Structure 1
Amino acid sequence: MAEVRPILTGHKSLIVGVANDQSIAYGCAEAFRACGADLAITWLNDKARPHVEPLGEKLGAEIMAPLNVENPGELEAVFDEIGSRWGKLDSLIHSIAFAPKEDLQGGLLDCSAAGFARAMDVSCHSFVRMAKLAAPLMKDGGTMFAMSYLGANRVVTNYNVMGPVKAALEAACRYLAFELGPQNIRVHAISPGPLKTRAASGIKDFEHLLNDAVARSPLHELVDIDDVGFACAYLAADFARRITGGTIYIDGGANIIG
């Protein structure tokens, strides 16, 4: 790894979605910390806490809390703590997604209305809710990130209901970038190539996606969570102060190949 510069010294970052040391959110947390940022991280529930809390301690996270966006009040509690402890926020990373297994593994035609609505709420609308709570804390501007995937704008076999959901998430990023731009808040949809994460294990034939990504990529390599983390760290720094509203592909160039 190249020498890391402290480009985020004094930066306060909330990273939502740390599940283990292989998750995209952890890659972001590790990169932001290496660049000098102070961290707040969340875990999903009591089952996840023993796996995530030691990672937060390792990174010196100043705030750690449970956050299930489906539980009333938990989202507000996280932002209340950030407000009282830090009084500000510089970046928000939303790295959570969910669809019921029976709806995810079937085709879109077979997805239930309830499953579709739940996938949309957790994977997309929760980002809008977070943005509304985060914006008042970004008093000097800031950056918001949401994790997407190529299946948002192309058909990816077996991605199913998450394709339309991620398409909505990318659209939400564009509209939020427009609405929050006057407050000097930038919003990015981040679209990594397929990564070996626990969340990806729910996608049928995921190993095929990994192999295809290597074959298609001009660099002929898979990306990893560090690639995603350091790209986001750059985008959160002043170096990228006039970049907003787009989908940033971190996939070795695979998205350009038809």
Structure 2
Amino acid sequence: MFSLQGKTALVVGIANEHSIAYGIAKALKDAGAELVLTYLNAKARPYVEPLAEALGAKLFMPLDVTNADQQDALFAAISDTCGGVDIMVHSIAFCPAEDLHGRVTDCSRDGFLQAMDVSVHSFLRLIKAAEPLMPDGGTYMTVSYYGAEKVVDHYNIMGPVKSALESVTRYTAAELGPKGIRVHALSPGPLATRAASGIDHFDQLLNDAADRAPTHHLATIEDVGACAAFLASDGAKNMTGGVHMIDGGYSILS
């Protein structure tokens, strides 16, 4: 285990104990990091708060990434309470159901803009807000999927959206590298999370991935957390801009 002792990590995107963000938060905590955790709204809070308490979160605050006031309040509290932040994890995505389930060709303008705003531009907003709190460098991470690179049945408009997210990862890594800030995208295979359950025929996608992957195992949130903890550590201080596949080798096959 690479030590994250003395580091503060902001993790955005926990919905419940099955969330990728929860797997990452737990791994960061186990490696020694102090946690700042957020919840989307009052409806989500009862599911997330017990997890935040169990993980001993130093701060637990609301964050709807479309609400600028909530973002400002969060980073002000991080500055006042923690003095700064060393790790920021962005694990959120959204697309209106009617656009997610339809053809890419038919995606509405409003649906496309909303998907890009919540899933991609919010990462940029969080990066910009956290940057002044990382004077000695740090690590940003987001979560992508293989559908950004290849066409995956039923992934639809989220493919182009995740492709944009991966491009943002590379460009911000290039810009922030001189400041000692690394940027990564984690790309696990399909996982049975609440967000993923909105994809049509998702159970079939899970079965196909397990059958096809060389390891014949689906990724777990623990797998993703272990990768994130390493990338946030000093052991990965010369790694940045990567899309890290955590998929049992699925993506190496033609």
Same fold by TM (over 0.5)?
yes
**Aligned pairs (5 A) from 1:21-40:** 21-40=17-36
Check if 1:106 corresponds to 2:102. Answer: yes
Check if 1:14 corresponds to 2:3. Answer: no
Instruction: Please tell me whether the aligned partners of residues 6 and 34 of structure 1 are also in contact (alpha carbons under 8 angstroms).
Output: no
The whole-number CA distance in structure 2 between the counterparts of 1:60 and 1:181 is 31
Paired AA for residue 179 in structure 1: E
Question: Residue 47 of structure 2: which of 51, 71, 78 is its match?
Answer: 51
Runs of 4+ with deviation above 2 angstroms: none
Paired AA for residue 81 in structure 2: R
SS, match of residue 42 in structure 2: coil
Question: Residue 158 of structure 1: which of 154, 157, 163 is its match?
Answer: 154
SS, match of residue 10 in structure 2: strand
Paired AA for residue 34 in structure 2: D
Paired AA for residue 138 in structure 2: G
Paired AA for residue 50 in structure 1: P
Is there any run of 5+ residues in structure 2 with no aligned partner, and where? none
Check if 1:149 corresponds to 2:175. Answer: no
1:54-92 deviations in Å (ceiling 9; x for gaps):
100000000101111112311121111111111111100
1:215-240 deviations in Å (ceiling 9; x for gaps):
12111101100100111000000111
Instruction: Name the counterpart of 2:168.
Output: 172
The whole-number CA distance in structure 2 between the counterparts of 1:67 and 1:41 is 9
Question: Residue 122 of structure 2: which of 126, 131, 148 is its match?
Answer: 126
| TM-score, scaled to structure 2 | 0.98
Instruction: Name the counterpart of 1:65.
Output: 61
Name the % identity: 56
The whole-number CA distance in structure 1 between the counterparts of 2:67 and 2:84 is 24
Paired AA for residue 216 in structure 2: H
Structure 1 residue 6: deviation in Å?
A: 6.1
The whole-number CA distance in structure 2 between the counterparts of 1:202 and 1:175 is 30
The whole-number CA distance in structure 2 between the counterparts of 1:72 and 1:137 is 18
Question: Residue 85 of structure 1: which of 73, 81, 88 is its match?
Answer: 81
SS, match of residue 68 in structure 2: coil
Instruction: Please tell me whether the aligned partners of residues 41 and 61 of structure 1 are also in contact (alpha carbons under 8 angstroms).
Output: yes
Instruction: Name the counterpart of 1:240.
Output: 236
The whole-number CA distance in structure 1 between the counterparts of 2:78 and 2:31 is 20
The whole-number CA distance in structure 1 between the counterparts of 2:116 and 2:50 is 30
The size of the alignment, in residue pairs, is 254
Q: Which deviates further from its counterpart, 71-80 or 29-38?
A: 71-80
Aligned-pair Cα RMSD in Å: 0.8
